[in-house]
Structure 1
């Protein structure tokens, strides 16, 4: 991913020196301090399981869907989770249409690793019929604008979409108890996913060989960085995953400092996600009430007809 970004943005020597000189004074070209995040905005569509996230100029949409499939033979009682990314040329001139490139695959793997290895989603609750039918959850990430730090923005979009997604409720019946009925939302209220915790990805960019580090890098900072590290943590301080890229090594004391900072940032981002989801759920409940007219409304309509 680092090599792609370096080829995508043409940074002159003067621009590179200006960014590095500013960082020596704890300043960045966009006015932030080294460990400040850009403004994070989380929005939702009218359909459950869709989110839209903006982190500075980075713009990403996420959609969650589910379908019934046969489980893996070694996990007959567990559902599955898959992440797919789409890089639009509209977001970055280096993105190509069609087959996912190396950067798209890497982005999906980083987010998948944080969700899967930390068991954030209860996959056993996705089992409908042991050994025969389970729910397969799919997350589609659409990159609309690349303003830098795609990993963190995509991670927030995926979590927000998962928290608002609801799958249809199923029941078993028939003489042998194996006849499956998938109830539409008009008959039975869909069920939310069981999410144990929120693994938050926090990305650091190392600009120079002596480990000058910034958080939430822009596309210009990514173009000149020597390496990057993404730490995925939850509010309990548990480290869910760490991914290091680039050829420059990082000394242990700097890694520990980054983890301490990431823990604080993860707590802040978790609060923003939960607040946004709570507002969405309140609005959703209000829309649902408005769809069901009261008995007084029915009587009024009857009098008007008479």
Structure 2
């Protein structure tokens, strides 16, 4: 059973607060929740938290035969699942609409935008390539799981290292991490998602990174995926609220600044984790 819609008092309280330029969690309208990134002992395992929204992303790779039509490219598959403990809205064994949207968006943002150089995953043309599998586990839904899942997914790929491979003739040797240092993936760019919620009352300005209540009471969502180089990868609108071109342009301009700040945070956390691993090895 789906949970009941927000009550009338909740709805009125939220709308009145937004009209007074106040958000219930104390943030400004255009401020996101600061992401928290926790790395596991394995390379490619990341837990991302945005407020109480929590997502785990994991990358693993194996050697396979390439697709006949793409003999020089490796493969990337993305799978997402929302745990029933994330919210009472989700049921085990039955993909929810949110789960389908997250998987499709991740596919567009990460795989179709060529964030990872698939040709670099080729080991022996037409015979052996790397197949990367990105798995997203959504553990808690406190609003805006899509942005959290996209961030966890791209950070997991940047954190992942594949084993060193040696090719002599047609013989492929995969070296263990204890023999040779693993190699990071060749990543062309790092796309990030930013979701804006619009409300039926035109006097209420849009908010970025909506909470669960803001998301449920919004009249439409606009998600922009772009990188720190100001390149838009995906623009997706959900909901029936019509938006003028200048409104979309303004939202894109805001997302550009947010992407630069988020990219700096991600690179700093990755560097901090990598340096910590080197200290442990010594």
Q: TM-score range by the shorter chain?
A: over 0.9
Aligned length: 281
Structure 1 residue 184 corresponds to structure 2 residue 176: yes
Report what 2:193 is aligned to.
Answer: 201
For residues 31 and 128 of structure 1, the distance between their equivalents in structure 2, rounded to whole angstroms, comes to 51
Structure 1 residue 137 corresponds to structure 2 residue 129: no
Shift of 1:213: 1.0
8 A contact 2:110–2:154 mirrored in 1: no
Q: What secondary structure is seen at the aligned counterpart in 2 of 1:90?
A: helix
- Residues 86-97 of structure 1 correspond to what in structure 2 (within 5 A)? 86-97=81-92
Structure 1 residue 118 corresponds to structure 2 residue 113: yes
Structure 1 residue 158 corresponds to structure 2 residue 153: yes
8 A contact 1:9–1:220 mirrored in 2: no
Structure 1 residue 59 corresponds to structure 2 residue 59: no
Which TM-score applies when normalising by structure 2? Answer: 0.95
For residues 285 and 8 of structure 1, the distance between their equivalents in structure 2, rounded to whole angstroms, comes to 47
8 A contact 1:88–1:97 mirrored in 2: yes
8 A contact 2:87–2:141 mirrored in 1: yes
Q: What secondary structure is seen at the aligned counterpart in 2 of 1:253?
A: helix
8 A contact 1:90–1:145 mirrored in 2: yes
Structure 1 residue 27 corresponds to structure 2 residue 19: no
**Greater radius of gyration (CA):** 1
Alignment partner of 1:262 out of 238, 248, 255: 255
Deviations 1:116-141 (A, max 9, x none): 23221111100011111111111111
For residues 232 and 108 of structure 2, the distance between their equivalents in structure 1, rounded to whole angstroms, comes to 12
For residues 249 and 111 of structure 2, the distance between their equivalents in structure 1, rounded to whole angstroms, comes to 24
Deviations 1:11-44 (A, max 9, x none): 1112111111211222111111111111311110
Shift of 1:9: 5.4
Shift of 1:209: 5.2
Deviations 1:168-205 (A, max 9, x none): 111122xxx10111111111111110112110101101
Report what 2:243 is aligned to.
Answer: 250
Q: What secondary structure is seen at the aligned counterpart in 1 of 2:158?
A: helix
Report what 1:284 is aligned to.
Answer: 277
For residues 187 and 179 of structure 2, the distance between their equivalents in structure 1, rounded to whole angstroms, comes to 25
Q: What secondary structure is seen at the aligned counterpart in 1 of 2:14?
A: helix
Deviations 1:78-124 (A, max 9, x none): 11111111111111111121243332121011122112232211111
Which TM-score applies when normalising by structure 1? Answer: 0.88
For residues 138 and 3 of structure 2, the distance between their equivalents in structure 1, rounded to whole angstroms, comes to 15
Report what 1:218 is aligned to.
Answer: 211
Shift of 1:69: 1.5
- Bigger mean CA offset, 248-257 vs 95-104: 95-104
Report what 1:109 is aligned to.
Answer: 104
For residues 188 and 49 of structure 1, the distance between their equivalents in structure 2, rounded to whole angstroms, comes to 18
For residues 19 and 65 of structure 2, the distance between their equivalents in structure 1, rounded to whole angstroms, comes to 56
